[in-house]
Amino acid sequence: MSEPRSADRLATLAAALDAPVGSLAAVRAPGRVNLIGEHVDYNDGVVLPMAIDRDTLVAWRARPDGRTTARSLELPGLVECSARGVTTGPTWGAFVPAAARAAVGLGAVPVALDLAITSTVPAGGGLSSSAALGVALVLAHCIAGGIDPDRRALALAARAVEVAATGVPVGTMDQLASALGVADHALRIDCRDLGVEPVAIPDGLAVLVVHSGIERTLAGSEYAERRDACEAAARRLDLPALRDARTEQVADDPFARHIVAEIARVDAFVAALRTGDHLALGRIMLEGHASLRDDFGVSLPEIDALVDALVAAGAYGARITGAGFGGCVVAIGDPDGIDAIAASATDRYATGTGRSPRSFVVRAASGAAPY
């Protein structure tokens, strides 16, 4: 189903392309917040993200000369691609020819486009701004090339685009959440068989995201090292992946211990969502954060302070979300009090750390679609 078109957003993109609004087609792809299940997607585990009501919007018009251009309202530079895929422009432009090739691989006819991009997903926050960009660009090239792809295939193609564009061996969770999101639901994703089960977010639960003011990039982080360590642990145990490990097998390996415990936390969280046990939800989130801090080593003192401030302000629970090393914290709380929680926690955090946090309540949104 197509999303309602926002005249203001499309008009801004049309102005960037110097084109009438009516001449443009567009797609959107949401970011995501991971409620629980961190660093387990590349270990064949289960995760529980939700697509959020912040997205990347890509508009385009066809051009006749075989060249593709792309410009972003938030990122610098003009991207230019030839029919051979040669690209000039900023580093983010590597997504554009990779997405065009991926769309052809899904069955689209090759097309030359003028693309304009805008996003409300904060960059460097652990909310999958890069996955939203990849999914939106692949979907744009698919629709311009005459196909509306299967959303699971779209997600896998967008993952390959991100790996090619960044060199980071990301998992599948982010793209699956962006492509397959369901409004008012989180997604229990089995990263081994790619099964996706929507799980309703209760009306009495609000989800708050707070950016710590510390940006991070996967390419400059220890993400790849953590992934290598997990794969090495699975090989030592002669297992396909750490999903298959038992608690006693990983007791002396902190990285592997986090993965096994975190996978168990996902289904405990799903059960608590279904029964409306808010206290259990909060406890599971805090256990997950402690594991990411103490065993997996991807938190920072400022992130820990932000989690503490949110709980002190009345959140049921909070945890770092995304790969870590900065970015965002996700918290849950009562909808009637969530704004006061955000205000109190960010004030305490800013005073204590000197950082400039940004907070916003998010709702679970539908997945990538024509706009």
- Give the tens place of pLDDT for each residue, 351-367: 999 999 999 999 999 99
**Inter-CA distances, 228 with 135, 147, 234, 236, 327, Å:** 26, 37, 10, 12, 22
Single out the catalytic residue among 41, 55, 174, 295.
Answer: 174
Measure the CA–CA gap between 207 and 362, rounded to whole angstroms. Answer: 6
pLDDT at 220: 53
Query: Which CATH number describes the domain made up of 7-199?
Result: 3.30.230.10
In this structure, the chain runs to a length of: 371
Q: Which two tokens stand for residue 48?
A: 């529980």
Distance of CA 366 to the CA centre of its chain: 14
Judged against a pLDDT cut of 50, whether residue 301 lies above it is answered with: yes
Q: What is the mean predicted confidence (pLDDT) over 60-80?
A: 95
Taking only the tens place, the pLDDT of each residue in 180-216 is 999 999 999 999 999 999 999 999 999 999 999 998 7
Q: Which sequence spans correspond to the domains of the chain?
A: 7-199, 201-362
Residues 27/368, Cβ–Cβ less than 8 Å: yes
- Which percentage of the chain shows pLDDT scores above 90? 89
Q: Could you confirm whether 252 is annotated as catalytic?
A: no
* Residue 328 φ then ψ, to 5°: -110, 160
Nearest to 349 by CA among 158, 214, 251: 214
The matching CATH number, chosen from 2.40.110.10, 3.90.1150.10, 3.30.70.890, 3.40.50.1010, for 201-362 is 3.30.70.890
The residues, any chain, with a CB within 8 Å of residue 133's CB and separated by 6 or more, are: 29, 56, 92, 95, 117, 119
Q: What percent of the chain stands above pLDDT 70?
A: 97
Residue predicted with more confidence, 269 or 171:
269
pTM: 0.93
Can you tell me whether residue 251 is helix, strand or coil?
coil
Radius of gyration of the chain measured on its C-alpha atoms: 20
Instruction: Name which of 20, 26, 23, 19 is nearest 5 in CA terms.
Output: 26
- Helix residue ranges per DSSP H, the chain: 7-17, 95-105, 129-144, 151-166, 173-180, 223-236, 254-275, 278-294, 301-312, 338-353
What is the maximum span of the chain, computed from C-alpha positions, in angstroms? 63
Tokens 């594991």 sit on residue: 291
Q: Which amino acid is at 271?
A: A
What six digits make up the tokens of 270? Answer: 């799903």
**The dihedral of CA 262, 268, 271, 275: what is its sign?**
negative
Q: Are 228 and 84 in contact (CB under 8 A)?
A: no
